[in-house]
Amino acid sequence: MVKKFDTRLVQTGRAGTKAHGYVNPKLVRGSTVLYPDVATKLALGTRRLEQIELYGLYGTETHFALERAITEIEGGSHCQIVGSGLAACIMPLLAYLKAGEHLLVPDSVYGPTRTFCDTTLVRFGVTTTYYDPMANEAEITALLQPNSRVLFTESPGSHTFEVQDIPMLARVAHARGIKVFMDNTWGIYHFQPFAHGVDVSIQALTKYVGGHSDLIMGSVTVNSESDWAWLRKGMLELGQYASPDDCWLALRGLRTLGLRLRAQYAAGLEIANWLAARDEVARVLHPALPSCPGHEFFKRDFTGGGGLFGVVFQPQYSAAAVVAMIDALQLFGIGASWGGYESLVLPTGGTIARSAGTGVYEGEVARFHIGLEDVGDLIADIEQALAALRAG
Ligand SMILES: Cc1ncc(COP(=O)(O)O)c(C=O)c1O
């Protein structure tokens, strides 16, 4: 029987409906693992690529349950849980790249990933070229170098939501033996990375998988034994770990992921369309709206999304007016880490670091994250706050 996604979300990472025992995987905390004799320890010690309890750092039953679940959501073969979404972005870069090599990174990448490329990777002799996330085949090909090893993607882009043509980028990269990494946090299961040519898929589980703004965690998933060997070896050498308590919480969050995302995507779209019709708004940067760069790739490659999008205000409204509007909102928290059940807003103008000439807008920009509150209440709140924008 081919199971639908919601059914798989309920079943994944568990012992199964017919197994004797509690519904949820055990929360196992541990550092040392005991072996019955030396021969067993020596024999098992060589099996670090497998999900076997060998030592706390290599994972417990709780980690493995979450890793199996994320592997299934992403449609991959193996997954490694790490301590944060940022660690999930940077650890595979350390695992794959060496001095003298080059990588390409979209100009719209999550800011701290850019900082890592510009600082630590520079110290280790790896160079980065930032590219327009909307670059076409000829433009991206022109940026490749003989020593290019990784093409990093993030789709949609942080803050500005450009949707990338991942299959085209993968075709160009693979023709030259270059690996394609993707920060797939926004799309989660609505974008199947490996079916579109990605080699290494990254999730900040902190966001929609956790879903309750109470944990920090990331995952890196691959879809081949050879990529797994690279990744796992690198991760073990780098001492990557996440708390089993947080893994357990992430598994709990995951059970309602489908429901939450459906509700937040629908409410987000309703609010995005409402904002797009307002005189104060120049355009809305929501992948599902034609006003968003790469909307055609969203329609082709995604099956849905979440509740995070950007708004560009008309040029006559100053940064101070946007701040006054945000301060006037009653139901939206002012905060960065999206994906929780609660609505958030941030002014993004002035905080967007760019070096390839992208991210230039006609007016001030803000980012909205739509939670599980009543959508009518949220719209009423934005409507009253827009008075502060007009007055500002
Ligand atoms: C797209 C994206 N990737 C990665 C991260 C990093 O996640 P974490 O906060 O778990 O380090 C974030 C956090 O905002 C993000 O928005």
Instruction: Say if ligand 1 is within 6 A of residue 204 CB.
Output: yes
Q: Where are the beta strands (DSSP E) in 267-390?
A: 281-285, 308-313, 333-334, 344-347, 365-369
- pLDDT tens figures, 260-308: 999 999 999 999 999 999 999 999 999 999 999 999 999 999 999 999 9
Residues of the chain with pLDDT under 70: none
Structure tokens, 146: 């003989």
349 C-alpha vs ligand 1 centroid, how far in Å?
18
Instruction: Tell me which H or E stretch contains 102.
Output: strand 102-106
Q: Residue ranges per domain, the chain?
A: 5-254, 257-391
pLDDT (0 to 100) of residue 357: 86
pLDDT (0 to 100) of residue 191: 97
pTM of full prediction above 0.85: yes
pLDDT (0 to 100) of residue 49: 74
pLDDT (0 to 100) of residue 359: 85
Q: In 3-state terms, the chain is what percent helix, strand and coil (to 5)?
A: 40, 15, 45
Cβ-based neighbours of 161, under 8 Å, separated by 6 or more: 285, 286, 287, 292, 293, 309, 310
Given this structure, which CATH class describes domain 5-254?
alpha beta
pLDDT (0 to 100) of residue 48: 75
pLDDT (0 to 100) of residue 34: 96
- Residue pair 109/155 in contact by the 8 Å Cβ criterion: no
Structure tokens, 375: 């959508």
Instruction: Say if ligand 1 is within 6 A of residue 89 CB.
Output: yes
Instruction: Say if ligand 1 is within 6 A of residue 192 CB.
Output: no
pLDDT (0 to 100) of residue 16: 85
Q: Which atom of ligand 1 is nearest to the CA of 154?
A: 1
Instruction: Say if ligand 1 is within 6 A of residue 185 CB.
Output: yes
Pocket test for ligand 1, best of 116, 337, 351, 352 (most atoms within 8 A of CB): 337
Q: What is the CATH number of domain 257-391?
A: 3.90.1150.10
Pocket test for ligand 1, best of 185, 200, 351 (most atoms within 8 A of CB): 185
- Residue pair 180/159 in contact by the 8 Å Cβ criterion: no
Structure tokens, 207: 């966001």
8-state DSSP, 330: S
pLDDT (0 to 100) of residue 81: 96
pLDDT (0 to 100) of residue 351: 72
Tell me the three state secondary structure of residue 341. Answer: coil
